[in-house]
Structure 1
Amino acid sequence: MSPTSRISKDQLERARSLVASVDKGFETKVVGQRRLRETLLIGLLTSGHVLLESVPGLAKTTAAHALATAIGGAFKRIQCTPDLLPSDIVGTQVYDASQGKFVTQLGPVHANFVLLDEINRSSAKTQSAMLEAMQERQTSIGGQVFKLPEPFLVLATQNPIEQEGTYVLPEAQLDRFMLKDLLDYPSPAEEAEVVRRIDAGVFDQPDRAMIDVADARELQRLAGSVYLDKAILDYITFIVAATRSPGKVMPPEMARYVEIGGSPRASIAFAKASRAAALLQGRDHVIPEDVRHLAHRVLRHRVLLTYEATADDVRVETIIDAVVRAVRTP
Structure 2
Amino acid sequence: MAAIGSRGTVTEAAGFNAEQDAQKLRNAMKGAGTDEVAIIDVLAHRTIAQRQLIKHAFKTSVGKDLIDEVKSELTGNFEKVVVGLLMTAPVYDAYELHHAIKGAGTDEACLIEILASRDNQEIKEIIATYKKEYGKSLEDDIISDTSGMFQRVLVSLLTAGRDESTKVDNVLAVQDAKDLYQAGEARWGTDEVKFLTVLCVRNKQHLLKVFEEYHKIAGRDVEDSIKREMSGTLEDVFLAIVRSIKSKPGFFAERLYKSMKGLGTTDSILIRVMVSRAEIDMLDIKAQFLKMYGKTLFSFIKGDTSGDYGKILLQLCGGQ
Higher strand fraction: Structure 1 or Structure 2?
1
Does the pair score TM above 0.5?
no
Could you state the TM-score of these two structures normalised by the residue count of structure 2?
0.33
Which structure has more RCO (C-alpha within 8 Å, separation ≥ 6)? 1
Q: What TM-score comes out, normalization by structure 1 length?
A: 0.32
